[in-house]
Every structure is written in C-alpha cells, then in structure tokens.
Chain A
C-alpha cells in the first residue's frame, strides 16, 4: 500500500507525465476562469489527444486540467460574482461580498489556500479509504441517497437565514428549487412537465444559466446602481495586500477547512450526487460552525469562513469522485463519465483491479490532483494581488466585460437563445430575492438536488415499498434531518431564555 503510494508519485514525476500535467494545468486554468466553458466539455474536447499517450501521461494531462478548473473557477466567483463553473457558485455568497468590502485579495487567498488544503486532505482521505471504499459505496443504495439529498436541503434551508422567519424563508426557497427541478421530461412516465410548449425545456432547466442569472445579474445591477467600482470607495491599499491574510485565515479556521474537505470527499465518493452539491453542503457546515446568531449574521455579508468551506470541499471532492469511476466503472459526475471514456481508450478496465493490481496508477491520479493544485495555487499567488485590484476598476469599464462573460457563459451550455432568456429571468428572480432578504443558497440546492431526490425516492418506493424507511442508514439520516431542523430553533429559544 505505502509502496503503491510512492510508486504512484514517481509515475507522475516522470518528465513526460509532468510536462503533460503542466499543459493540462495551463488549459484548465483558463477553462476554470471563464464561465460557461465547463470542465466536462473541455475534457471531452481533449479526449482525442490522448490516443498516443501512456496511461499515466494521459491521466496527468486530463486530471491536471480537471483539478485546476474548480480552483480557478473560484477566482471569477470572488472577483465578479459570476460563477466560473457550476461547481464554484457557493464561493460567490461570501467571496464576492468580501470583494465588495474591499477584501478581494483576502478572499482569493482564502479560496486558493483552502482549495490546496482540500485537495491534499481529499487525497489522503482517499488513500486511507481505499480498503473500505467498495463496501462504503455499496452500502449507499437509492433510499440512502434520497435521504442524503433531503438532509442536504434541510441543512441549507435551516442555516442560511436567521431565526424562525428566516428558516421558513429558507425552506420556501428550497421548496421552490425542488419544484423548478421538476421541469422537463419525467423519467417515470415520459411526460413533459412545465415545458411551456417549448423544446428547450424538455431537458429541464440547465444549471449554469440559472446560476449565472441568479448570482451574477443582481451583482451587476448593484454595481450599476452604486456607480463605483466593485470595492466601492475603500482604500485601495488593503485590497491588493490581503492575499496572505487569506492564507492565514485558512490556518486560523483549520479545523473547519479540514472538516469541509472531508465533506467534499464524502459527497464526491457518492455517485449520483453530482459536483455542485459538495460546496453547498460545506457552505452549510461553515454557517453551522458559527457559534451564535451574531456571528452567523456575517455569513453572506463577507465572512471568510463562507469562502473556506466551499473552497476546500470543491477540490477535495475531485479525489472522491475518482473512486466510483475507477473502482466500479461508474462515474460520479459528467467529467468523470468522460474520464471513463479515457480508460477505454487507454485499454484499461476500471473495476476492482484498479484498487489492487493497478493501485500505483490509481495513486498517480490522486497525486496528479494534489500536484496540480499545488502548482496552480503557487502560480496564482504571484499575480493574485493584481487580480484583486480588478475590483477597484470603475464599474462603467468593468460592466461590459462582466456582461459579456455572463451571456457567453450561459449561452455555451446549450448554444440556444433559451439559455439567455433563462439567465435574464433568473437574474430578475435573484435580484428580487436579494432585495427581499431571501436566501439563494437553499433555492440553488433544491434545484440541484430536486431530480436526484425525486428519482431516488421513486426507485426506493418501487423497489422496496415502505421497507426502505426501516434501513439503518436511512433511519440515521432521518434523525439527522430532524436534528438539523430542530436544533437551531432550540438553540435560539435557549438563548432567548438566557437573555
């Protein structure tokens, strides 16, 4: 096992694999930065180039690229409030709020440093989990996955706003997300639901246009209304010197960063949960870690912990999602599905052998994720402060560029005008939610998890009838969901009694 760990490292450190990895990192850097151009699409486009490569080189190239996408996606999220990737939207809530407070540098530093910690923790967790990973994954059937989705929504809904009223709003927003997830052709009867007679909505609402609309458009409107730069009239000296402060934050809240990394790894390992879920779960956990209501108020208004959580989970999940792909031949995300294609191209068969006979190759993949993140984060730090000073550019100059990113970003998801309409529509929804003080996080998580929840509930009932409710892991998760809802209420009542 230890031998395989080091053999894997040496495999990646061969000069050719390393060179391909650097190439991949260079590509992934830009793909992550630009919204819309997604990691999965780029992987698909790069697939033809690996025919002549050796397996380790090919995976260094593809994974190097893929690992970086999540990291640099956070940069766009922090700077402009535009999600650079579908998987980096949660960073916007506090990251961009920090940028508006003139702490863009600190937010970027925190996002990158936590990404790095996440990648490393994820890799180590993975290495430790390899002996138990098959039973772990197999013990999560459809009923368990359904409950996991429910716990996730309950978690976010109860935590993203204050008090009983805020909680109610959280659940309503989450419910709206769940409802909107039902748009499209349903998988049980094949009926087209709420498609408004258009072909565009057959496949349901696309996540990217919705995310871009709901997060970026309100920020753009805000920027126009304020008529200043993103960082407003804050003294510019602080903005471009904060990157190191962000790194320090990562270590100040090291326990949180580690826990969020583990959450990310776990969600990554669960096939079918999808990449966008991990960061929101971590965000929820970060909010929960606030000791009192006063502290929690800072979340959404630029608390650095709201950046650290998603940043860490976002990268640790990559290692995790490798597991179902290589151990079962079952991809955990679109990107991994494409990576699975790479396995076949290289003449390798994913399956139990990858955890025994080909363990060094598996470890070389884990190492690639770690090294790619180390290299990217170090490279980013060289010009992080310059990036941060973009937030001092006058709004009039910045808005056209951001708008272009927004529209191109959403249009590339289907190459259809419907994408633009959805972006604008949800831009309006997002703006109203911000104005009215409604939390956006539960809405997004409801949308992301809606299909998963619906399908796994159907499968659970069809397969096990009522008996699915008696499965032990399901019972634990039900208890957890109830605890997540009841605990904040109980906590606030106790505090009221104290006062």
Chain B
C-alpha cells in the first residue's frame, strides 16, 4: 500500500514538470502591449484576439491587453524590443508605419523592425480615396482628366489621410489641395457632409459606412486590396516612372502588415512557433470571425515570413529612393 502511494506520489511529481515542459503557457499570463490608447482600431483588434487566443494556445494561458500609448507607438515598440523579457509572455502590436520611422531615421527609434520575433499581421488595411458622390466625376480617370481642383481633408502628415493624396498630387499630377488639421478621420467625414472638402483618403473599413450611405464613392486605392475594391485602379500602376512607382509602393507596403504582432527579439523558437500557430488558428475561429464581421473589422492572418519580407522590402531601398521618399512622407500617427 505504502509503495503504491509512493509510486503514485512520484508519478504525480514527475507529471508536473513534464506537463510544464509540454505546455509552457499553462498557468501563465501573456500580455499584449498596444501602442495606442483604448478605443482605436489597434486596441480593438488586440482585445478581440485576447479573448480568443487562450483557446488556441496549449495550456490556455490568460491573455491580457495593456495600453502603452505615446509617440505614435514608438514608446511601446522600444519597450517590447529591449525592456520586455524574451520569455514569450509579451506580445507587441504597434503602428504599422514603424518601418517608415526606421527608414527615415526618426529620433527615438531604438529598434530594428527586422529583428523582432515576428508573429505576423492580424489584418491588412487598404487605403482608398473617396470623393463626394455629388461631384461630377464617376471615376479616377474623369477626375484626373477634368484638371479641376478638388479639396481633400486630412488629419496630418504620416497618416494615410494625408500621405496617399499627397503622392497622387505630387507624383501623378492630380489637381488636389490638401487641407489638414482635422482631429480625426470622422471629423473629415463631417466636413465632407457640409461640403467644406470634396473627399478624403483613409482605410476602407473606416469609409465603408459612408460609401454605403452614398455620401462618397471610392475612386482609387493603394496596393493592399480587400474584397469589393479589387476593380479600383491602383496608384502604383499609374505611375509615370519607376522612381514614382517605388515611392508609392514604399508608402503602401506597411499596409499589408496592417496589424503587426511581434515578440521581443530572442524569444525561444518553440514559443514563437506556438504563438504563430495560435494566431493563425485564432483568426479563423468562427466566433472571432463572426464578431469581427459585426464590428466591420475583418481579420486576415499574414504569416511571419511574409511580414518580415515586407519589412525588408521597405528597409532595403536604395538611398536615392529613400531621400526622395523622405521629401514627401513623414512618420506619424
């Protein structure tokens, strides 16, 4: 009897470390650090994932979201890059334009985007330009050929509301006047409604409700596409020369990695792999998909190698392209 108990006890004790080895996430807490305040798109996506991820990680860890806002998420990125422990318990999700910040050597960048332990991207973000439906232009071609000036409202440099129309103006020669300083993209929408401006650029998801309401209609998009806007002309394909094309491609490249998710450099490979698998399956979770659809922010997983490829594409540009790019585009939002 005693021996039986002893064996049982020994087995029980042996089982604990074994279980611990097999399921390094059991009983642990994983923190997703968001580089923005609660309420925005990055935060919403992270909170949605935080509720579904536990079911897809062996050991069902608790997943919590921590907001670390400031400096367009540079603060959060610096933290995850060098302050957080590489123990697989910290995930960061930041401004998709961080590679642009690194490329244009913004002060305060203390990370290398290619050295993060990449999980991948949870969604891509398509940028479009939409104009008021009561204007006489049905499509981009008509707008461009008319030669008449249109006024585009924007938030500020570094945001797609500003940068996308800026390149259309500078590189494609569209007669656009950019009026920037609106406090949010929805403020621009109101300016469109009162005919202060003629249109705006922005992510498809934020403009869709107004397209549905027939206030505006889309005329041109950037490279990243989503169902429903495939047939729109793409800015790069209208570029007059290779240099212009490279600059437009560079601006839109981060949008493919629209919701980047990374871990601290040096995170053990098996933990990273666990997390990649978990993200890939969590994003396909029917419950999550239904919720995302309701919130009009559908997710789509881009694997780590693809995301890393985009980072390298952005960061390996020849100097002359970078110099010209920096003339137009500043890091922001």
A337 interface neighbour in B47, B72, B184, B212, Cβ under 8 Å:
B184
Residue of B nearest to A138 (CB): B194
Stretch of A43-51, A147-155, A165-173, A484-492 lying at the B interface = A43-51
* A137–B194 CA distance with the chains assembled, in angstroms: 9
Known: A40-B39, A138-B193, A190-B158. A199 touches B186 (CB 8 A): no
Known contacts: A141-B194, A187-B181, A344-B296. The answer to whether A199 contacts B70 by CB under 8 A is yes
Interface positions of A from 457 to 477, Cβ below 8 Å from B: 458-459, 462-463
**Distance A44 CA – B39 CA, assembled complex (angstroms):** 5
- In chain A between 312 and 350, which residues have their CB closer than 8 angstroms to a CB of chain B? 324, 328-331, 334, 337-338, 340-341, 344-347, 349-350
* A329 with B209, Cβ < 8 A, contacts A187-B181, A199-B71 known: yes
Q: Is the CB of A203 within 8 A of B330?
A: no
A337/B186 contact (C-beta < 8 A), A199-B71, A347-B294, A459-B179 known: yes
Contact A200 B38 (CB under 8 A): no
A197 at interface, CB cutoff 8 A: yes
> A271, B187: Cβ atoms under 8 Å?
yes
B182 and A199: CB pair below 8 A?
no
Query: What chain A residues lie within 8 Å of B67 (beta carbons)?
Result: 415
Give bound CA distance, A197 to B213, whole Å: 45
* Smallest Cβ-Cβ distance to A189: which chain B residue: B157
- The answer to whether B71 and A451 have CB atoms under 8 Å apart is no
Most chain A CB within 10 A, of B37, B74, B158, is at B37
B295 touches A344 (CB 8 A): yes
- The chain B residue sitting closest to A184, CB to CB, is B71
For the complex, what is the distance from the CA of A51 to the CA of B177, rounded to whole Å?
42
**Are A141 and B189 in contact, with the CB atoms below 8 A?**
no
Q: Is B156 an interface residue (CB 8 A)?
A: yes
On whether the beta carbons of B213 and A351 are closer than 8 Å, the reply is yes
What CA separation (Å) do A41 and B193 show in the bound complex?
29
Closest to A335 in B: B39
B66 within 8 A of A: yes
By beta carbon, the residue of chain B nearest A346 is: B294
Per-position contact with A for B27-70: 1 when CB-CB < 8 Å, else 0? 00000000001110001100110010000000000000011111
B189 touches A330 (CB 8 A): yes
Query: Is there a chain A Cβ closer than 8 Å to B111's Cβ?
Result: no
Closest residue of chain B to A415 (Cβ to Cβ) is B68
Q: Is the CB of B191 within 8 A of A455?
A: no
Q: Within 8 Å CB of B39, what residues of A?
A: 40-41, 43-44, 334, 337-338, 341
Quote the shortest CB–CB distance from A48 to chain B (angstroms): 6
Interface residues on A, range: 35 or more
**With the chains together, A459 CA to B154 CA distance in Å?**
10
Answer whether residue B210 sits at the interface, using C-beta atoms and an 8 A cutoff.
Answer: yes
B151 at the interface (CB under 8 A from A): yes
Q: Does A142 contact B (CB under 8 A)?
A: yes
A495 CB-CB contact with B under 8 Å: no
User: Do A203 and B190 have beta carbons less than 8 Å apart?
Assistant: no
Contacts of A414 in B (CB 8 A): 69-70
Q: How far is the CB of A279 from chain B (nearest CB, A)?
A: 20
- Does A459 contact B181, Cβ atoms closer than 8 Å? yes
Min distance, Cβ B325 to any Cβ of chain A, angstroms: 14
The residues of B that contact A456 with a CB separation of less than 8 Å are: 181
Check: B271 CB closer than 8 A to any chain A CB: no
With a CB–CB cut-off of 8 A, which chain A residues contact B43?
Answer: 44
Among A44, A48, A187, residue most surrounded by chain B Cβ atoms (within 10 Å): A187
Quick check: is A309 within 8 A (CB to CB) of the other chain? Answer: no
Task: Determine if A331 and B157 form an interchain contact, defined as CB atoms under 8 angstroms apart.
Answer: no
Identify A324's interface contact among B51, B66, B190, CB under 8 A. B190
Query: What A residues does B294 contact at CB under 8 A?
Result: 51, 344-347
Q: With an 8 A cutoff between CB atoms, is A185 at the interface? A: yes
Given that A200-B75, A341-B44, A349-B212 are contacting pairs, would A451 and B183 also be in contact in the complex, using a CB cutoff of 8 Å? yes
Please name the residue on chain B nearest to A202 by beta carbon: B71
Tell whether B107 is near chain A: CB-to-CB under 8 Å. yes
CB pair B71–A203 under 8 Å, yes or no, is: yes
- Note all chain A residues with C-beta closer than 8 A to B194: 137-139, 141
Interface residue? A452 (CB, 8 A): yes
Query: Contact between A51 and B291 (Cβ–Cβ < 8 Å)?
Result: yes
A275 within 8 Å of B by Cβ? no
Q: Which residues of A contact B193 (CB under 8 A)?
A: 138, 328, 330
Q: How far in angstroms is the closest Cβ of chain A from B64?
A: 11
Given that A138-B194, A188-B180 are contacting pairs, would A48 and B47 also be in contact in the complex, using a CB cutoff of 8 Å? yes
Question: Is A83 at the interface (CB under 8 A from chain B)?
Answer: no
Q: Is B108 an interface residue (CB 8 A)?
A: yes
Q: Are B189 and A329 in contact, CB atoms less than 8 angstroms apart?
A: yes
User: Does A493 have its Cβ within 8 Å of any Cβ on chain B?
Assistant: no
Q: How far is the CB of A13 from chain B (nearest CB, A)?
A: 27
Whether A455 contacts B182 in the complex (CB less than 8 A), given A189-B157, A328-B193, A463-B196, comes out as: yes
Q: Is B121 interfacial (CB-CB < 8 Å)?
A: no
CB-CB under 8 A from B86, the residues of chain A are: none
| Residue of B with least CB distance to A41 | B38
Query: B167-199 vs A: 1/0 string, CB under 8 Å?
Result: 000000000010111111011011101101100
Query: Which residue on chain B has the smallest CB distance to residue A271?
Result: B190
Interchain nearest-CB distance for A135 vs B (Å): 10
Contact check: which of A141, A203, A347 meets B69 at CB < 8 Å? Answer: A203
* Interfacial chain B residues near A350, Cβ < 8 Å: 209
Q: Do A202 and B189 contact each other (CB < 8 Å), given the known contacts A345-B295, A463-B179?
A: no
Q: Shortest distance in angstroms between A104's beta carbon and chain B's nearest beta carbon?
A: 33
Instruction: Render A170-204 as a binary contact track against B, CB cut-off 8 A, 1 for contact.
Output: 00000000000000011111101000010110110
Q: Which residues of A contact B72 (CB under 8 A)?
A: 185, 202-203
Q: How far is the CB of A379 from chain B (nearest CB, A)?
A: 27
Find the residue from B44, B181, B294 having the highest chain A CB count within 10 A. Answer: B181
Taking a contact as CB atoms closer than 8 A, the residue among B191, B212, B296, B332 that contacts A190 in the complex is: B332
Cβ-defined contact, B209 with A463, below 8 A: no
Which B residues touch A187, using CB under 8 A? Answer: 155-157, 180-181
A416 within 8 Å of B (CB atoms): yes
Which has the most chain A C-beta neighbours within 10 Å: B153, B157, B186? B186
Q: Contact: B181 with A188, CB < 8 Å? A: yes
Instruction: Provide the residues of chain B in CB contact with A458, threshold 8 Å.
Output: 180-181
Q: Please, could you name 14 A-B residue pairs with CB atoms under 8 Å apart, sorted by A?
A: A41-B37, A185-B156, A189-B157, A197-B107, A203-B70, A272-B187, A330-B187, A334-B39, A351-B213, A415-B67, A459-B182, A459-B196, A462-B180, A462-B181
Which residues of B come within 8 Å of A, CB atoms? 37-39, 43-44, 47-48, 51, 66-72, 74-75, 78, 107-108, 151, 153, 155-158, 177, 179-184, 186-187, 189-191, 193-194, 196-197, 209-210, 212-213, 291, 294-296, 330-332
Known: A189-B330, A202-B70, A414-B69. 20 other contacts (CB 8 A): A41-B38, A45-B38, A51-B294, A142-B191, A186-B156, A187-B180, A188-B157, A188-B180, A199-B70, A272-B187, A328-B189, A345-B294, A347-B294, A416-B70, A452-B183, A458-B180, A458-B181, A459-B182, A463-B179, A463-B196
Closest 5 CB pairs of A and B: A190-B157, A187-B156, A455-B181, A44-B38, A199-B71
